[in-house]
């Protein structure tokens, strides 16, 4: 008999309460819990990069549908919207696993473990639990994180913004824009505003992004928006690769292998953290790199985790951009719940249900997807490809 863990009981309990609420009102964090509860059984044993590879897979298929201009509703076999729903589901599973599981259930080989919930941002103005919506507000405090405005003014300075690290003209704007961002963060500091943000429904959150970036989306085509989405999906992969590497080196005699690498980067790290500077000075006096190696390892890993959260927020923001642009492109009547705009929550709800209309995996129709479901699904896909090749 399968053992039901404490975490599973807790998730089941929360889901039962959640299922009484109209999915139109579900927040992002509630979708994370709901979708993760369906796929928890196979995701719990997967490594972070394995789950993220499913996001990469769906993002690339989304790009294919964009290239084919396949703007059909989600009930169709394919189309941009359906791929967006599937991609969103895997994003939620990834975040769900690392915000709901306990250390003992994640295993010692997991390169993330519980660090997404235990590690807090160096500028944690929102406070409270570590959740997906919190990482979003930390990155987007109601304004664009570059120009500090809502609506975003970046397109007016497009070239300068793109090359801001080297463009001298940026100096002139930097001060004022940083001030805008600090002011916006201060607004979020008030607990009721953060709470208000976290209780936004998923659809309201998508609107939150189109309020900031609607003008930006207007002058970009869907292909270009999709490039940005793929770029951000790649940035998460980058952070995951680095986390895996850190994990391997940590297991593999940290001192001997880490020390020289970190010692070499000594010149580049001065000034980024007082604690590190202290270690660097100590090393110079003692002529030993061991303490610096450890301090750097901690510093880099913490930054790595913080970056990962920021990149996950960016992926979500560009997925919202795809949805907003798609909403402008889909002609009234094509998607069932138009006129007006389509509800992404309804699209997800329509996809993740079984024959009885209950919230479940659409392939095996179970509320907790069978472990064999993915294997069956992939086998069918591979055989289909083979058949296509034979018949062509």
Query: Is the Cβ–Cβ distance between 277 and 270 less than 8 Å?
Result: yes
CB of 245 to Zn ion, least distance (A): 32
Angle in degrees, 0-180, between the axes of helices 132-139 and 191-198, rounded to the nearest 10: 120
Binding mask 154-173 for Zn ion (x = CB under 5 A): x-------------------
Residue 201 phi/psi, 5-degree rounding, is -70, 165
Residue 222 lies near Zn ion (rule: CB under 5 A): no
Query: Is the Cβ–Cβ distance between 38 and 360 less than 8 Å?
Result: yes
Which among 236, 208, 190, 221 is positioned nearest to 329, based on CA atoms? 221
# residues contacting Zn ion (CB under 5 A): 10
Angle in degrees, 0-180, between the axes of helices 191-198 and 170-189, rounded to the nearest 10: 90
Q: Which residue number, 73 or 215, has a Cβ lying nearer to Zn ion?
A: 215
| Tokens standing for residue 182 | 């600090």
CB of 154 to Zn ion, least distance (A): 3
Give the span between the Cα atoms of 203 and 201, in whole angstroms: 5
Residue 147 lies near Zn ion (rule: CB under 5 A): yes
> For Zn ion, which residue of 66, 85, 152, 226 counts as binding (CB under 5 A)?
152
Which uninterrupted H or E stretch holds 261?
A: helix 254-264
> For Zn ion, which residue of 144, 225, 243, 269 counts as binding (CB under 5 A)?
144
Which among 310, 316, 277 is positioned nearest to 123, based on CA atoms? 310
Q: Which residue number, 104 or 183, has a Cβ lying nearer to Zn ion?
A: 183
Q: Which residue number, 146 or 230, has a Cβ lying nearer to Zn ion?
A: 146
CB of 13 to Zn ion, least distance (A): 22
> For Zn ion, which residue of 19, 53, 114, 363 counts as binding (CB under 5 A)?
363
Q: Of 6-14, 47-55, 131-139, 353-361, which part binds Zn ion (CB under 5 A)?
A: 353-361
CB of 26 to Zn ion, least distance (A): 21
Residue 146 lies near Zn ion (rule: CB under 5 A): yes
Residue 93 lies near Zn ion (rule: CB under 5 A): no
Q: Of 41-49, 324-332, 351-359, 371-379, which part binds Zn ion (CB under 5 A)?
A: 371-379
Q: Of 60-68, 117-125, 131-139, 149-157, which part binds Zn ion (CB under 5 A)?
A: 149-157
Mark residue 271 as left, alpha or beta (left: phi above 0; alpha: psi -120 to 50; beta: remaining): left
Residues between 232 and 291 with contacts to Zn ion, criterion CB under 5 A: none
Q: Which residue number, 73 or 151, has a Cβ lying nearer to Zn ion?
A: 151
Q: Which residue number, 111 or 317, has a Cβ lying nearer to Zn ion?
A: 317
Residue 364 lies near Zn ion (rule: CB under 5 A): yes
Nearest 5°: the CA angle 214, 351, 14 is 90
Which among 30, 51, 10, 7 is positioned nearest to 349, based on CA atoms? 30
| Alpha helices (runs of H) in 101-145, residue ranges in sequence order | 103-106, 115-118, 132-139
Applying CB under 5 A, the residues found at the interface with Zn ion are: 144, 146-147, 152, 154, 361, 363-364, 369, 373
């Amino acid at each position: 008999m399968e053992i039901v863990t404490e975490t599973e009981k807790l998730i089941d309990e929360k889901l039962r309460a959640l299922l009484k609420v109209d999915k139109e009102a579900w927040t992002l964090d509630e979708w994370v819990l709901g979708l993760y509860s369906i796929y928890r059984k196979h995701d719990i044993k997967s490594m972070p990069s394995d789950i993220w590879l499913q996001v990469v897979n769906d993002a690339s298929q989304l790009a294919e549908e964009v290239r084919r201009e396949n703007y059909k509703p989600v009930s169709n076999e394919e189309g941009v919207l359906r791929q967006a729903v599937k991609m969103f589901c895997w994003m939620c599973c990834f975040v769900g696993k690392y915000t709901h599981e306990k250390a003992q259930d994640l295993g010692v080989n997991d390169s993330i473990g519980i660090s997404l919930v235990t590690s807090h941002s160096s500028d944690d103005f929102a406070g409270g639990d570590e959740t997906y919506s919190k990482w979003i507000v930390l990155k987007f405090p109601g304004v664009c994180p570059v120009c500090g405005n809502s609506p975003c003014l970046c397109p007016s300075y497009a070239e300068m913004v793109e090359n801001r690290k080297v463009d001298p003209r940026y100096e002139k704007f930097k001060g004022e824009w940083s001030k805008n961002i600090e002011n916006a963060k201060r607004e979020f500091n008030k607990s009721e505003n953060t709470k208000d943000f976290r209780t936004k429904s998923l659809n309201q959150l998508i609107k939150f992004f189109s309020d900031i970036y609607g003008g930006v989306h207007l002058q970009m085509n869907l292909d270009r928006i999709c490039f940005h989405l793929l770029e951000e999906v790649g940035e998460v992969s980058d952070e995951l690769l680095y986390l895996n590497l850190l994990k391997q080196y940590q297991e593999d005699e940290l001192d001997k292998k880490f020390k020289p690498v970190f010692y070499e980067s000594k010149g580049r790290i001065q000034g980024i953290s007082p604690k590190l500077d202290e270690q660097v000075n100590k090393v110079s006096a003692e002529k030993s790199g061991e303490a610096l190696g450890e301090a750097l390892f901690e510093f880099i890993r913490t930054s790595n985790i913080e970056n990962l959260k920021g990149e996950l927020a960016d992926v979500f923001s560009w997925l919202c951009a795809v949805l907003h642009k798609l909403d402008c492109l889909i002609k009234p009547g094509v998607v069932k719940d138009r006129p007006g705009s389509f509800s992404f929550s309804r699209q997800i709800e329509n996809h993740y249900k079984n024959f009885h209309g209950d919230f479940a995996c659409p392939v095996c129709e179970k509320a907790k997807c069978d472990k064999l479901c993915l294997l069956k699904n992939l086998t069918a896909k591979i055989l289909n490809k083979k058949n296509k090749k034979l018949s062509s």
